[in-house]
């Protein structure tokens, strides 16, 4: 059989055949779960203020608690289910970042602590770190001039 159909035509054809992600539903779930995570963060912050912690330390405590919770739930095989349900809602807050480091660490533990956990821990989070830090350096340089 000759390929009578060009790759471009085929791509358009496949596009029509392929169901789209349920964007509205995904957005809604991302919105309320993301909001819930941020609200939990706010509660922790308010509690820190309530027990008279220094503001700067309070912010750090919020991050540490959320990172711990995310890592803990990742280890229990629960966070991936939350992530599947909420998408960017659990990915964008610091919880997603923690999950992206803990999950490869768990996955590659079978290759040992050096070549597995150590080498592969940042396979998912690495790009975020590289470009996040690079951007902040550039912004910092610009800021120092003006």
Please report, as ranges, the residues that interact with another protein according to CB under 8 A.
1, 3, 5, 7-8, 10-11, 13-14, 17-21, 26, 74-75, 77, 79-84, 86-87, 90-91, 96, 99-100, 102-104, 106-108, 110, 124
Cβ nearer to another protein, comparing 41 with 104: 104
Tell me how crowded residue 48 is: count the other CB atoms within 10 A of its CB: 19
Nearest CA-CA partner of 74 in 119, 42, 104: 104
Cβ nearer to another protein, comparing 62 with 79: 79
The dihedral built from the CA positions of residue 127, 138, 62 and 83, taken in this order, carries a sign that is negative
CB 29 within 8 A of CB 81: no
> Measured from the CB of residue 44, what is the shortest distance to another protein in angstroms?
21
> Measured from the CB of residue 118, what is the shortest distance to another protein in angstroms?
15
Determine the distance from the C-alpha atom of residue 121 to the mean position of all C-alpha atoms in its chain, rounded to a whole number.
Answer: 14
> Measured from the CB of residue 134, what is the shortest distance to another protein in angstroms?
20
DSSP 1: -
Cβ nearer to another protein, comparing 61 with 123: 123
């Amino acid at each position: 059989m000759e390929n009578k159909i060009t790759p471009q035509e085929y791509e358009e054809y496949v596009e029509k055949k392929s169901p789209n992600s349920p964007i509205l539903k995904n957005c809604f779930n991302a919105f309320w779960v993301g909001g819930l995570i941020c609200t939990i963060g706010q509660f922790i912050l308010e509690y820190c203020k309530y027990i008279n912690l220094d503001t700067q330390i309070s912010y750090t405590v919020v991050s540490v608690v959320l990172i711990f919770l995310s890592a803990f739930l990742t280890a229990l095989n629960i966070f991936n289910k939350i992530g599947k349900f909420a998408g960017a809602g659990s990915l964008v807050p610091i919880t997603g970042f923690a999950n992206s480091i803990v999950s490869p660490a768990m996955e590659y533990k079978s290759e040992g602590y050096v070549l597995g956990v150590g080498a592969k821990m940042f396979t998912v989070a690495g790009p975020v770190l590289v470009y996040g830090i690079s951007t902040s350096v550039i912004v910092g340089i610009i800021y120092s001039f003006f």
